[in-house]
Structure 1
């Protein structure tokens, strides 16, 4: 039986190349960044604005190891700001297209572990749920990311200690 598989802990170079994709791509005014902290955590922070039809900020990275078919889902250890975030998975290397998302709430200032079963990820395209698509392909997870949206205007900060794939029964 497989054990947890570390995806990112921000202490090794393979998971440090995150880039922002914010609503500025469509004229919005939100902005975000992702950076590594001295304690080997990562922080996603920025400002969310709904001006000029905006309303989302996100970061993503490409994974060197893409087969997670022996796992049941993703687990993150995060310290949030009380806002709702969305963990995103892409089965391709495209900039746009179908993404699989699973939302989670945070408690301001508290570390917490969030478990996101692959079976509960929903297909979406540009913020809208897409019905009738095939389920997430855990054997080919190309990109992962984090997004904040839903008119949660203002500053946001989410610190991530690690991201792992977990096995069933955990």
Structure 2
């Protein structure tokens, strides 16, 4: 199953969870424009903030990950570091599995992330005693930026695919 951004209604499945939950001033949103998803906004370091994120409401894509070996993203960045985050019933609500990446600015790149590349974190801190990621327990996908740099950002995603073959 591939998640593409050709249907404008996909935008309604995404919602922001920014550092405002702890007093910060960062802001973000997810837009669907010209066949791509865009995670964009501005990171602020004011009031102890410094992160912005978007999550996707569980839908058909998450259920197709149960038999996958990982996730493939086709993305273009802006010189900043991002995280692909996966929520799971195996972890508490404030925790997620993450993989960090910095996509190129000048062209789309296909990135392959096997499940073994993800680490469990809780509020940015690695969880050493967390269970291994089980794809069948995944309930949500999302993106986060927390690179300790204030300013605007934009991650462009043209597709997200369940990885079924070895790369």
Fold similarity call, TM over 0.5:
yes
Structure ranking higher in helix proportion? 2
**Cα 1:120–1:158, aligned 2, differ >3 Å: closer, same or farther?**
same
- Once residues 14 and 118 of structure 1 are traced to their aligned partners in structure 2, the CA distance between those partners, rounded to angstroms, is 28
Q: State which drifts further: 142-151 or 56-65.
A: 56-65
1:18 is aligned to: 14
Kindly report the root-mean-square deviation, in angstroms, between the aligned alpha carbons of the 2 structures. 1.8
Q: Which position in structure 2 is the counterpart of 1:98?
A: 95
Q: Does 2:75 align with 1:78?
A: yes
Provide Cα deviations, 1:18-40, integer angstroms capped at 9, x if missing partner. Answer: 00000011000110011110x22
- The correspondence for 1:27, drawn from 23, 26, 35, is 23
Instruction: Kindly state the Cα deviation for residue 12 of structure 1 after the two structures are TM-superposed.
Output: 3.5
- What SS does structure 1 have at the residue aligned with 2:66? coil
Instruction: State the alpha-carbon separation in 2 of the partners of residues 98 and 76 from structure 1.
Output: 22
State the number of aligned residues.
163
Give structure 1 stretches of 5+ with no counterpart: none
Q: Secondary structure at the match of 2:67?
A: coil
Alpha-carbon displacement from aligned partner over 1:30-52 (angstroms, at most 9, x marks no partner): 10011110x22111111111111
CA deviation profile, 1:134-166 (whole Å, cap 9, x unmatched): 011201221100000120221101111010011
Q: Which TM-score applies when normalising by structure 2?
A: 0.90
TM-score for both structures, normalised by structure 1: 0.89
Show structure 2 runs of 5+ residues with no match: none
- Aligned counterparts, 1:1-170, within 5 A: 5-6=1-2, 8-12=3-7, 15-16=10-11, 17-37=13-33, 39-65=34-60, 66-92=63-89, 96-170=93-167
